[in-house]
Amino acid sequence: MYDTVDPAPPLTRLSEDEELLRANVRAFAAAEVAPLVREMDEQAHIPRTLIDKLFDLGVMSVEIPEKFGGAGGHFFLSVIAVEELARVDPSVALVVDVQNTLVINALLRWGGDDIKRRFLPRLAAGAVGAYALSEAGSGSDAFALATRADADGDDFVLNGRKLWISNAEEAELFIVFANAAPEDGYRGITAFLVERATPGFSVGKKEDKLGIRASSTCELLLDDCRVPRDNILGELGRGYKVAIETLNEGRIGIGAQMVGLSQGALDHTLAYVQERKQFGQPISAFQGVQFQLAQAATELEAARLMVYNAARLRDAGRTYLTAGAMAKLYSSQVAERVTSLAVQLFGGVGYTKDYPVEKLYRDAVIGQVYEGTSNMQLQTIAKQLLLGAAPQTPGKR
C-alpha cells in the first residue's frame, strides 16, 4: 500500500531545468524509494545502495561546482529535490537536505580554496556529510554548547558530546562546533571539519524515534579528538556566524520536506476518498469531506509558495531571514494538520501500518522541532517585525 500517487502539478511556475529535475526526482522516488519505505521505517535504516543512487542522480551535490564533480546548480533545485523525495519518504529527503542545505552550503560559503579542493569532490562523489551543533544543554540555546577545542600547536584537541545529529550513521565528514575560547562566550565558538576516521572521534547511541525513523540520528563522542588547524571552517571564533547563517538556509530545506510529505499525504487521501464508499456513495461525495480537502489543499499551496519564495530570495542574494522562518513555521504547522486529516479520512485503516498515511503523520511531528523550534521561529519573526517598525528618532528620517 506504499505505491506513490501522482499529484496535481503545483501552480508555481518553474524554469525548464527545475521542471526537468522535478520530473526526474519524482520518477526516481516512485521507482527506487517507494518499494523500500516500509522496510526502511521498520528497520530504521536507509540502505547504502539507495544512497549511492541518490549520488548518481545528482541530488547529493546540487550546488557543488562542476569543477569539483557536482551538478553546478542553484539552491532552489535542492529544495525541489527535497520536496519530491519527501512526498514518498521524508527520511530519504532529510539525507539530501542535510547534505545540501547545511554541509555543502556551509563549505561553499565559508570554506577557503584549500578546504573546497579537499572536501567538495568527496561530497560530490559519495561521502555523506553531517552537521553537529546540538548538545544536551544547547538546543534552542545553541550557543550554550560545552564542547571544547584547545589549541595544541598546529592542531586543536576537541572534547565533548554532540546529540541528535542527523546523517551520523552514514556520514564521513562532520561539521563540528566547539568553543575554542569559553571566556569569550559565543565569540569563541568555531566550526571544525572532522573526518569520521579521526582518532578520538566516534559515533555513539542511535536514537529510536517516533518518525523519520530511517534517517539516522546519533550522538557523537569527541575524546581528545585532534583536528588540524587547516580544518577550521571560516575563521577561529566565527563559528557562531557559520551556524546562524547556515541554519537560516537549512530551515528552507525543512520547509520543503514538510511541503513534500503533506503533498504525499494529500495525494493518498484524494485517491482513497474516491474509492471508499459509505451510505452507498464514495465519501468524496460528502460536502464535509470536500471542504476539509479544499482547506488542506489551500494551506498546502500557501506553504509551498512561502518555501519557494524564501528559496528564490536566497538565490537572488536578497534578505530571506524572515521569509525562511515563516516558511519553516507555517509548513510544519500545515504538515501536522494535513497528515492528521489524512489519518482521519482513511478511518480505521489510516491508523494501521498497511497504509502510508500513519507514517507520514509520524514523520510530520519533527517539523516543529528541528532546525529551530516553532517558538524560535516566532521569536525570529517577531524580532524582525519590531526592528522594521522601530520608531524613528525625533527630528530624523
Residues 286 and 268: their CA atoms lie apart, in Å, by 18
**Per residue in 39-64, pLDDT tens?**
999 999 999 999 999 999 999 999 99
Structure confidence at residue 183 (pLDDT): 93
CA dihedral 233, 112, 52, 129 (to 10 degrees): 10
299 has catalytic annotation: no
pTM for this entry: 0.93
**Is 396 inside any structural domain?**
no
Q: Which residue has the cell 578520538?
A: 200
Backbone angles phi, psi at 130, to 5 degrees: -140, 160
Cβ atoms 173, 203 nearer than 8 A:
no
Mean pLDDT for all residues in the chain: 94
Reply yes or no on whether the pLDDT at 196 is more than 50.
yes
Structure confidence at residue 390 (pLDDT): 67
Reply yes or no on whether the pLDDT at 291 is more than 70.
yes
At residue 27 the predicted structure's pLDDT band, cuts being 50, 70 and 90, is very high
**Is 11 inside any structural domain?**
no
For residues 75 and 167, membership in a common domain is answered with no
For residues 226 and 190, membership in a common domain is answered with yes
**Per residue in 368-381, pLDDT tens?**
999 999 999 999 99
For residues 369 and 345, membership in a common domain is answered with yes
Reply yes or no on whether the pLDDT at 85 is more than 90.
yes
At residue 4 the predicted structure's pLDDT band, cuts being 50, 70 and 90, is low
Residues 9 and 11: their CA atoms lie apart, in Å, by 6
**Over residues 85-108, mean pLDDT:** 98
At residue 144 the predicted structure's pLDDT band, cuts being 50, 70 and 90, is confident
Reply yes or no on whether the pLDDT at 244 is more than 70.
yes
Structure confidence at residue 58 (pLDDT): 97
Q: Among residues 328, 362, 323, which one has the least CA distance to residue 342?
A: 362
For residues 58 and 117, membership in a common domain is answered with yes
At residue 140 the predicted structure's pLDDT band, cuts being 50, 70 and 90, is confident
At residue 6 the predicted structure's pLDDT band, cuts being 50, 70 and 90, is low
C-alpha distances out from residue 248 to 6, 201, 255, Å: 31, 28, 11
Reply yes or no on whether the pLDDT at 128 is more than 50.
yes
**Is 380 inside any structural domain?**
yes
Residues sharing a CB contact under 8 Å with residue 24, sequence separation 6 or more, in sequence order: 57
CA 344 vs. chain centroid, Å, equals: 27
Q: What is the largest CA-CA distance in the chain?
A: 79
For residues 379 and 252, membership in a common domain is answered with yes
Reply yes or no on whether the pLDDT at 148 is more than 80.
yes
Of the residues 207, 237, 267, the one at which a domain ends: 237
For 56-94, b where at least 16 C-beta lie within 10 A, e where not — what string? ebbbbbbbbeeebbbbebbbbbbbbbbbbbbbbbbbbbb
At residue 11 the predicted structure's pLDDT band, cuts being 50, 70 and 90, is low
Q: What is the CATH number of the domain that holds 173?
A: 2.40.110.10
Least confident of 17-21, 138-142, 392-396: 392-396
For residues 355 and 255, membership in a common domain is answered with yes
**Over residues 85-97, mean pLDDT:** 98
At residue 397 the predicted structure's pLDDT band, cuts being 50, 70 and 90, is very low
For residues 118 and 135, membership in a common domain is answered with no
For residues 224 and 254, membership in a common domain is answered with no
Reply yes or no on whether the pLDDT at 142 is more than 90.
no
For residues 222 and 277, membership in a common domain is answered with no
**Per residue in 301-358, pLDDT tens?**
999 999 999 999 999 999 999 999 999 999 999 999 999 999 999 999 999 999 999 9
For residues 295 and 383, membership in a common domain is answered with yes
**Is 213 inside any structural domain?**
yes
**Is 6 inside any structural domain?**
no
Range of the domain at 276: 241-387
Domain count, the chain: 3
For residue 150 the three cell numbers come to 584547545
Query: Computed from CA positions of residues 196, 209, 103, 146, in that sequence, does the dihedral angle turn out positive or negative?
Result: negative
Q: Among residues 129, 106, 132, which one has the least CA distance to residue 233?
A: 106
Least confident of 154-158, 168-172, 382-386, 390-394: 390-394
**Is 168 inside any structural domain?**
yes
Reply yes or no on whether the pLDDT at 396 is more than 70.
no
For residues 96 and 155, membership in a common domain is answered with no
Structure confidence at residue 7 (pLDDT): 52
Reply yes or no on whether the pLDDT at 395 is more than 90.
no
Residues 72 and 66: their CA atoms lie apart, in Å, by 5
Residues 336 and 365: their CA atoms lie apart, in Å, by 6
For residues 321 and 361, membership in a common domain is answered with yes
Structure confidence at residue 143 (pLDDT): 78
**Is 159 inside any structural domain?**
yes
**Per residue in 262-276, pLDDT tens?**
999 999 999 999 999
